[in-house]
Structure 1
Amino acid sequence: MLFLAGMMVLLFTVASAQSTSSADFISIDCGLGVGKKYTDADDGILYVADEPYTSTGVNFRVRQDINSKSDKPYYANVRSFPDGIRNCYTLAPVSAGLKYRVEAEFLYGNYDGLRVPPTFDLYLGVNIWKTVTSGNFTRAEIIFVAVGDSVQVCLVNTGDGTPFISYLNLRPISSFKYSLVSPSLGLLVNWDRRNFGATSQIRYPQDPYDRGWYPFIVGKPIANNSTVTQVNNNEFVVPPALLQTAVTTSSVTENLIIPIPGSSNETTFVIMYFAELQQLPAKEIREFNIYAGDDFFYGPLGPAYLRENVIYTRPTGVSGGLTFSLRSTSNSTLPPLINAMEALVTRPLPFLPTNNDEVTAMLEMKKLFKVNKNWEGDPCLPQKLIWQGVECSLDSSKYSRISTLNLSQSGYSGPIPAFLSSFKYLTSLDMSYNNITGEIPPFVAQLPALNYLNLEGNNLTGDIPQALMTRSQNGQLVLRINNNPMLCSRANLCDTKDGTKRTKKNKVIIPVAVAVSAFVLLVMIVALAVFTLKRRQAKAKATVFEVPSNSMGQKNSNIDQENILHSESQIYSLSDITNITNNFERPIGKGGFGTVYHGYLQNGVQVAVKIISQLSAEGEKQFRAEAQLLTRVHHKYLVSLLGYCKENLALVYEFLSRGSLADHLSDNSADKNTLNWDSRLRIAVEAAQGLDYLHNGCKPSIIHRDVKAANILLNDCFEAKLADFGLSRSYKLDDGNSHISTCIAGTPGYIDPACFMTNRMNETSDIYSFGIVLLEIITGNPPITFDDYRIHITEKVQMKIKCGDIESIVDQRIQGQYDVNAAWKFAEIALACTSPNQSERPSISDVVVQLKECQLLQGSSDSCTDPTYIAHNSVNSATPYAR
C-alpha cells in the first residue's frame, strides 16, 4: 500500500502567500542583442539580454519556418556555447536560506542548420540538474534553497552537440511553499503542471510565482466563473482561476484516467486540487476513490461546492511512471472530477559550492590575470570540471575551499592583489614568472595554511616580511623568491641594490640568486652521509635502546631502558608471554620478522603476540622501531600496542577478529565474506584516516613504508585499522638524520617505482602504496597477477579506464550493487595516487576528502556497523600481524 498523508481540508492560520513582484524577477531572453531589453505585453515582465549574467557564448536567430512557438519573443533567438566544456549564467542577487524557482527553455529551431538537436547536461551550481535530451523543445524547472548570494546555471558539453539555451528565469518562492525543499534536496517539475478543462495557460500575474499551469483536456470539461473558497494554507496556494475549470467523464461507470510519466527509480510527489463546480440537486452525489495503479490511494472523496480540497502524497511519494485513476463509489450518481494537478520529483543536491568569498576572489583573479583557461562555473566542483591550476579541499561545513592555486606564467603585471587574503585554506601558491611588482604584502605571511609560496621570476622590491622569514626559518614554509634582483630581506640576505647575497651565519635558507659550486656541495653531502652511516652503525653495535644519562654524563642505573617506551605500555616478562599464549599454542600468522600467536590476558581480553625472530639480522631493529612508534601514536584507525617484552622481543597487540583486508579480497578466501561496495568504501576511508594521522597528526611525521591490504586489519564490525609498523620511519629522527628515508623497503607490487630511481622513500611513497590498495578494493585483484604475463594492477585498470569500461573494473562479486559515479571517482582517486610522477599524487588528506565524497555519491554511512554482504559465510580468521 502506498503511503498517504492526505487531507480534505487543511486548516492553517498562517497568512496566504507572501507578496511577489516582477521587480524581484530575473528574466533573460537568451541570444537577445547586447544591451537590449523589452517588457512583454502579456505579463508585464521585463526581459533582458544575456549580459551581464554570462560573458561567453554566441547569439543566433531561430529560423521562423521552424519556430513553432512564435508567441513569445524569446523563442526567436538562442545563445549557443561552441567553446569550452562548461559555460555558466550567474544569477544574482539571491539570499542564502531563501527558496527560488529557476526555469530554462530550449527551442532548437535548427538555428545552426544541422537539423540535429544536441544533448548536454544542465547544472544548478555544482549539482547535476537535468540532461537536456535531443529534441526540438525542452523545458527544465527546479525549486531550491540558495546557499549563497548568487546561483549559477551551467551548460556542460558532453560531446553530443553544442549546448544552447533560449530562455532562463529566476523567481523567488515563499518560504512556506514546497516544504520538502532543503539545501540538500531540490524539487524538479518533470512535466507541465496541469490545468484541467482550461483552454489557456495561467502564469504571472495570476500566479505570483510565475509558475506555468498548462491546459490539459481529458474527458469532459466543466467550468464555473464563481470564486472558489481556498484552503487557508500557504504551502498549496494556487491561482484562483485554476480552480474554476475541471474535467469529468461522461458517465458514472467511466473512470477518470490521469497518467503520470516518470521512472520507477524516481520519487514523485503529487498534489491534486478538487472543487465541485456544479450545484448538485438534493439526490445527486459525486463521490469517488483515488487509485495509484492498482493500489488504493485515497477516498472516498466528495468535493464540496465551490470549496477547495487538496490531496497530496508525503513524505515518501510514489514511484514515477504510474497512472492515477478516479473511480466512482457505489453511492455516487455522478462521475469523478479533478481541477488541477502538480507533480514533482526530487533531485539530490549533495554538494555545496566553493566558499563565496573565495569564488569572488577567483573571479577578480580571472580578470586581473587575464586567464585564458576555461574558468567557468564553480572553481572546485564537479571534480571533473575543476579549474585548471586549482586544487580544493572541504572545510568543516562541507564547503569546498581552494587549497592550491597555480598562476605561474599568466602574464600578470602589478602588485600582489589584496584579495588573496580571502584564501584561508590555501596551502600552495605559485605566482612565478609573471611581472609582479612592489613589495610582498604582510597579509601573505598571515595566510594560516600556506606552506609553499613561489614568487620566482618577478620584479619584487623591498623587504621580505619578517613573519614570512620566520615561517621559512621554522620549516613551516617553502619560499621561492629568486630572480627578484631588487628584493632584499630583513635577514640581511642582500648587501647591494642589485641583490648580491651577503653572508650571515644565521641567515634563512631561501633560494636566491647565488652561485654555489655543485661539485663542492656534492662532496659535502657524500661526506655527511658517510659520517652519519658510521655513527648509526656504531650506535647499533652498542645497544638496542639508548639509556638516558644523568647530568654528569654517566649512565643512570635507576632509569631502565624501557623508559624510552610510553608509560601506558605494559612491560611483560618471558613467563608472562608464555602464559598469555598458552605456551605459544596457536600461531595465527607468520612473516619475515617472526610469528604471531593468539593469546588471552588475565582479564580475558584477546590479544595477538608478535615474536620477533632473533635469528633475523633486522629483528632487534624492527622490534625497536615498532615499539617506539606505537607507544607514541594512538589513533582510532591504528592497531594499538598493549605491551612488550624485551627478553624475547615480543609485542602484544589488540586482537582483530576479522583478519586482514587482503583475506576478504582474495579469490581463494572461501571462508571469508565478500565485502559489499559500501563496506569497501568505509574501509578505504578509515585506512586513509589512519595513514593521514601518521603523515599529518604525528610530530615528527611518520612514513609507514609498507602500506598494503595485508596490513589493514578488521575488527568485529569490519572497522579498519592500519597495522605493522616494523618498517616505519619518522621524517626527522632524533639523531638529526635526513627527514626522508634512504632505505627502500616494502612489499613487491606496492613499492613506489620512483623510489628505485631516487633511492628515497617519502610520504608520496605511502600514497602510491595506498593507491594500490584502493585498486585492490575496487577490483578484488592482487597487485601483480602471477600468470604468464605478470601484469601489474595499475596497467590493467588504466587500459580499462581508457575504454570507459568501469563495469569490468569493479569486482564482479559485488554483482553490480554500486553507484557508477562513486566507482568512477574511486578509480580516478586510485590512479591519481599511483601516478608515476610523485609531484602529481594527492596528499593523504586530499584522498580522505575525496573518498568521503565517494561515500556521499554512494549514500553510504561512515558508522561502524556490521555490514551487509553478498556471501554470508562464517568468519573465524586470525589476524596476520607478521608479514
Structure 2
Amino acid sequence: MERSTRGAMAARSWLLLLLGLAGVLHVHGQCAPDSTGFVSIDCGQPEQAGRYVDAATKLPYVPDGAYTDAGANHNISPEYIKPTSSKRYLNVRSFPGVARSCYTLPSTVARGSKYLLRATFMYGNYDGLSRLPVFDLHLGVNFWRTMNITTADKPQLAEIIAVVPDESVQVCLVDTGSGTPFISALDLRPVRDTLYPQANATQALVLVDRTNLGLSGAAIVRYPEDPYDRVWIPWSEIDSNEWTEISTPEKVKELADPRFNAPSAVMQTAITPRNGSRSASSRTIELSWDAAPNHAYPDPGVIGIVYFAELEAVAGAAARQFEMAINGKLWSKAPFMPQHLVCDAFFNSEAHRGFGGHYNITLNATANSTLLPTINAAEFFSVVSTANVATESKDVAAMAAIKAKYEVKKNWAGDPCAPKTLVWEGLNCSYAISMPPRITRLNMSFGGLSGAMPSHFTNLKAIKYLDLSYNNFTGSIPNALSELPFLVVLDLTGNQLNGSIPSGLMKRMQDGSLTLRYGKNPNLCSNSASCEHTEKKSKSMLAVYIVVPILATVVIGALALLLLIMRKKQGSKKGSVKPENEASGVHSQSRNGDTHSLLQLDNRRFTYKDLQVMTNNFKTVLGRGGFGSVYDGFLADGTQVAVKLRSESSSQGVREFLTEAQTLTKIHHKNLVSMVGYCKDGEHMALVYEHMSEGNLEDKLRGKIVIVDL
C-alpha cells in the first residue's frame, strides 16, 4: 500500500500481521461466541504432541497429520524463537520435490456454505538455507495467490473468503521452481452465508488488507471479539499532527444490512482530519491500497468495504455529512451521514478493474457539513475466479479409495484431473465445457498392487483404458468390470488371477467392444467348463506335459505314413479329393506351376475374415514357430482358441499344410489338444486349435508357464 498525498493508508502489508505475539489481542472478557465448525491446524506439529489451546484466542489447535499425508516436519531455527512467539510458528511442514501438496479440510457446516480460510507462513530459516521461497496457493482447483516470503522473522498470512460446494475443501501448495513450499498453520472458519455477497459460487475474495482505524497502539482484534475470527490490524502510523482519534466505550450496534458487519471493538474507534479549517484539503480523507498483480491476474479486480459509525453525540445544527469517490468516480448518489453508534458500510458490488489493482477512496465533507469526515475500519480484497470445475466426485472418491488402499505416493495430491497442468501421474482425463472432468485412462502397471481386485476400479464409470498389468492381484476377475460402459482395453497381464474369465467380459470380447489382455496369469482359464481347481491338477499335469508331446509325435508320424500309403491306393476313387479351391470347384496352380489337389477335410472351415474377427484382427500373439505365429482368439460361442497362421516365409507348402490338417482331425485324446478347424482362403492358410491354457512341455520344464505355439 502507498501513502497518498493526503491521509493515505500506510505503506505496509497487513500479511505481516500477528508478529508472533500472543499478548496483543484485544479481549473484553465476555463469553466466547460459538466456535462450532472451526478447524485450527498447527502444521508441522508432531502427532504425539497432541492438541493445545492458543494463548491468545483460547481456540484449540491440533497437529496436521489427519489432514495431509505428504511433507516433512521441521522446527524453525533457534535464533528466530522469541518468548512471545505463538506456538504455531515454532514448526513448519515443508513439501520438497513434489509439484503439488494438499491439505483436505472438512466442510464443517454444509455443502455450499461460505468459509474464511487462512494460511500462515513463518520461515524462520527452518531448512538452514536462508533462502526465502516463492510458491503458489490453490483453493481446490483454483488459483488463490502467490506467496512471496519476504522475511524470515515475521509470519505472513494468506486469507480467502469462498463458497465451498463440496463436503471438503483442499488447500494446496504448488511448487513454482522458486524454493520449497512450506506452511506453519491453517485455519477454517464458517461465516454467515449472507456476509460478503461478492464471494459466490464463481468467485472468491482474497484479503489484501483489513484495518482497524482508531487509537494508535491499539490491540489486534480477532476471536472472540470477532465471532468469525477475522483479524483486524490497528493502523500503526497515525500522525497526530494530521489525524484526530475518536473513541467511545459504548457498544456499537451491528449494521442492519446482513451483508456486512464489523465487531463493536473495531467500530468503537475512528479517525478524522485534525485541521478544522474549511479549506478543501483539510476537509478530506484519502486512503489507498494496491493489490499486487500476479501471473494469474496481471490486472486484479478489487473490492473495497469501508465502515462508518458516528461516535460523537451531534447536537443542534451540527452535522457530519460527506461524499465518497473511488479512483475519482463518485461512489455515493447522495451525501452520507453516519448514524450514532450504529455500524454502516459502503462497498462496491462489482470488482473494480482497469487500474492495475490500485484502489483509492476519497471522503469529502459537503459544504453544509459542520463536522469533518470520519472512518472506523476498512477491508480491501482482490477477486479470484472459482469457476474451474473439480473432477466428478465419484471419480475422486474412487481414486481416493485406491490411493488409500495401496498407499500410493507418486504425485497424487489435490484434484486428480484439474488443473490440467497438475493431473495425476498415470491418469488421462476428458474435459468437457461446463462439465466436471472425467478419468478416462488409469495406468497402475508395475505398481506393486496385491490381493483381490477391489471394487474401486469399477466405480470409474468413464474409464476407457485400465492397465493393471504386472502386479500381484489374486482371486477372480470382477465381472463388474464388464459393466463399465466405455471400457475398451483392460490389461491384466502378469498377475496371479485365477478362475475363468467372467461371462460379461467374454461377451464384450466377442462383440469386439473390449480388448482383454490376460496372459501370464498361470491359474486363469478362459473356458469356465474346463476350469478345475489348481490343487486337483497340480499332481497330474507335469506327467501330461511330458507324455503328450512324445505321444503326439509318434502318432502323427505313423498316421502320416499310413495316409500316404492309403492315398496311393485310393488316388483314383471318386469323391476322395476336392479341387484346391473348394468354393469354386476348380484346380489352382502352385507357384512352381504344379497342380495339387486338396485333401478332403471333415473339420470346420473358416475364411480369413473369420480369423480376423475371432482374433480381434490378430491382436494378441501367443507364440511363434516355424509355421508362423499363433494368435489368441474366441469363437462366437465364447470358446477360446489358438489360431496358427502360416507366414509368407514358412517353408511348409499347401500339401504339407493339408496333410497335417487332415491328420490332426483324426486324432482325439483327452491329453491332446484338438483341432477345431482350418482356413485355406487364397494364399491364407491357418489351423485353429483348442486353446492350451497351461502352456507346453518346454514351459513346464523351464518353470515358466506361457501360451506358445502348439
- State the SS of the aligned residue for 1:260: strand
Does structure 2 conserve the Cα–Cα contact (< 8 Å) formed by 1:69 and 1:75? no
> In structure 2, what residue type is equivalent to 1:338?
I
Contact conserved, 2:208 with 2:382, CA < 8 A, in 1? yes
Cα deviation code 1:380-416 (max 9, x no counterpart):
1222221111111136862121110001011111111
Do structure 1's residue 171 and structure 2's residue 195 form an aligned pair?
no
Whether contact under 8 Å (1:251, 1:334) holds in the other structure is no
Q: CA deviation at 1:289?
A: 1.8
Cα 1:372–1:203 shift into 2, 3 Å: closer
Q: Measure the CA separation in 1 of the matches of 2:412 and 2:458.
A: 20
Aligned pairs (5 A) from 1:701-712: none
1:105 correspondence with 2:120: yes
For 1:30, the equivalent position in structure 2 comes to 43
Distance of aligned partners of 1:482 and 1:247 in 2 relative to their CA distance in 1, 3 Å threshold: same
More helix by share: 1
Question: Out of 485, 495, 515, which is 1:458 matched to?
Answer: 495
Give secondary structure in 1 for the equivalent of 2:265: helix
Q: Is the Cα contact below 8 Å between 2:99 and 2:175 reproduced in 1?
A: yes
Cα separation, 1, equivalents of 2:478 and 2:184: 46
* Alignment partner of 1:239 is 2:263: yes
Question: In structure 1, the residue corresponding to 2:331 is in which secondary structure?
Answer: strand
Is 1:288 matched up with 2:288? no
- Whichever residue aligns with residue 25 of structure 1, its letter is F
Q: Distance in 1 between matches of 2:404 and 2:626?
A: 42
**Which SS does the other structure have where 1:410 is aligned?**
coil
Task: Identify if the C-alpha distance between structure 1 residues 428 and 27 changes in structure 2 by more than 3 Å, giving closer, same or farther.
Answer: same
**1:20/1:226 CA distance change after superposition, 3 Å:** closer
TM-score, scaled to structure 2:
0.67
What is residue 260 of structure 1 aligned with on the other side?
289
Higher RCO, Cα 8 Å, sep 6+: 2
Instruction: Name the aligned partner's letter for residue 44 of structure 2.
Output: G
Equivalent residue, structure 1, for 2:415? 378
Match of 1:209 in 2: 228
Q: Does residue 138 of structure 2 align to residue 123 of structure 1? A: yes
- 1:221 matches 2:221: no
- Identity over aligned residues, as a percent? 37
CA offset digits 1:687-724 (Å, max 9, x no partner): xxxxxxxxxxxxxxxxxxxxxxxxxxxxxxxxxxxxxx
User: For the residues of structure 2 that align with 1:139 and 1:301, how far apart are their CA atoms?
Assistant: 34
| 1:152 pairs with 2:170 | yes
Alignment of 1:660-809 (within 5 A): none
Distance 2:85 2:526 in 1: 70
Residues 1:61 and 2:75 aligned together: yes
Query: Which of 93, 97, 110 is matched with 1:83 structurally?
Result: 97
Q: What are the equivalent positions in structure 2 for 1:328-367 lying under 5 Å apart?
A: 328-367=365-404
Deviation at 1:519, TM superposition (A): 4.6
Deviations 1:659-682 (A, max 9, x none): xxxxxxxxxxxxxxxxxxxxxxxx
- TM value normalised by structure 1: 0.54
1:795-854 CA distance string (max 9 Å, x none): xxxxxxxxxxxxxxxxxxxxxxxxxxxxxxxxxxxxxxxxxxxxxxxxxxxxxxxxxxxx
Aligned match of 2:342: 307
Q: Which amino acid aligns with 1:120?
A: F
Instruction: Please tell me whether the aligned partners of residues 262 and 343 of structure 2 are also in contact (alpha carbons under 8 angstroms).
Output: no
RMSD: 3.0
Q: Which of 66, 79, 83 is residue 52 of structure 1 equivalent to?
A: 66
Shift of 1:71: 4.3
Structure 2: how far apart are the matches of 1:186 and 1:74?
27
Q: Quick one: structure 1 residues 120 and 370, their matched pair in 2 at CA, closer, same or farther if it must change by over 3 Å?
A: same
- Gap change, CA 1:326 and 1:444, over 3 Å in 2: same
Q: Where do 5+ consecutive residues of structure 2 fail to align?
A: 1-31, 293-297, 546-602, 630-643, 650-710
Q: 1:518 to 1:202 in 2, by over 3 A?
A: farther
Is 2:455 aligned against 1:437?
no
Structure 2 Cα separation of the partners of residues 463 and 397 of structure 1:
42
For each residue in 1:253-291, what CA deviation from the matched residue of structure 2 results, as whole angstroms up to 9, or x when unmatched? 422221212258222111111111111242322222223
TM-superposed CA distance for 1:57, in Å, is 1.6
Cα distance 1:290–1:68, how it changes in 2: closer, same or farther (>3 A)? farther
Q: Measure, in 2, the Cα distance between the counterparts of 1:365 and 1:128.
A: 27
8 Å contact kept, 2:107–2:166: no
Kindly state the Cα deviation for residue 489 of structure 1 after the two structures are TM-superposed: 2.5
Return closer, same or farther for 1:408/1:194 CA change in 2, 3 Å cut-off: same
Letter in 1 for 2:397: T
Q: Look up the match of 1:517.
A: 625
> Which residue does the alignment assign to 1:200?
219
Partners of 1:312 and 1:370 in 2: how far apart? 48
Post-superposition shift, 1:491? 6.5
- Cα drift, residue 20 of structure 1: 7.2
Indicate conservation of the 8 Å contact 1:122/1:132, yes or no: yes
Q: Distance in 2 between matches of 1:68 and 1:276?
A: 40
| 2:317 partner letter | K
- The Cα of 1:50 is off from its aligned counterpart by 1.2
SS of corresponding position for 2:258: coil
Deviation, structure 1 residue 80: 1.5
Whether the 8 Å contact between 2:321 and 2:373 is mirrored in structure 1 is yes
Contact kept? 1:288, 1:336, Cα under 8 Å:
yes
Q: Do the aligned partners of residues 526 and 476 (structure 1) sit closer, same or farther apart at CA in structure 2, a change above 3 Å counting? A: farther
| Count, aligned residues | 510
Q: Using a 3 Å threshold, how does the CA distance of structure 1 residues 20 and 464 change in structure 2: closer, same or farther?
A: farther
Shift of 1:524: 4.8
Residues 62/491 of structure 1: CA separation in 2 closer, same or farther (3 Å cut)? closer
Q: Distance in 2 between matches of 1:45 and 1:518?
A: 79
What is the CA–CA distance in structure 2 between the aligned matches of 1:413 and 1:256, rounded to whole Å?
70
Identify the residue that residue 596 of structure 1 maps to in structure 2: none
| 1:43 aligned partner, one-letter code | T
C-alpha deviation, 1:371, in angstroms: 2.9
Task: Give the superposition deviation at 1:178.
Answer: 1.8
Q: Distance in 1 between matches of 2:47 and 2:411?
A: 22
Rounded to whole Å, the distance in 2 between the matches of 1:354 and 1:154 is 16
- Structure having the higher strand fraction is 2
Distance in 2 of aligned mates of 1:181 and 1:113: 40
Cα separation, 2, equivalents of 1:323 and 1:205: 31
Correspondence 1:230 to 2:246: no
More displaced 10-residue stretch of structure 1: 465-474 or 211-220: 211-220
CA contact (8 A) 2:309 2:343 kept: yes
SS in 1 for 2:384: strand
Question: What is the rounded CA distance, in whole Å, between the counterparts of 1:480 and 1:146 in structure 2?
Answer: 42
Q: Which residue of 1 aligns with 2:594?
A: none
Letter in 2 for 1:282: G
Deviation at 1:526, TM superposition (A): 6.1
Q: 1:108, 1:135 within 8 Å by CA — same for their partners in 2?
A: no
CA drift at 1:470: 0.7
Tell me the equivalent position of 1:489: 526
Q: Is 1:99–1:143's contact at 8 Å kept on the other side of the alignment? A: yes
What is the one-letter code of the residue matched to 1:233?
D
Question: Relative to 1, partners in 2 of residues 1:466 and 1:397: Cα closer, same or farther, differing over 3 Å?
Answer: farther
Whether the 8 Å CA contact 1:433–1:455 is kept in 2: the answer is yes
Residue segments in structure 1 that go unaligned for 5+ positions in a row: 1-18, 528-883
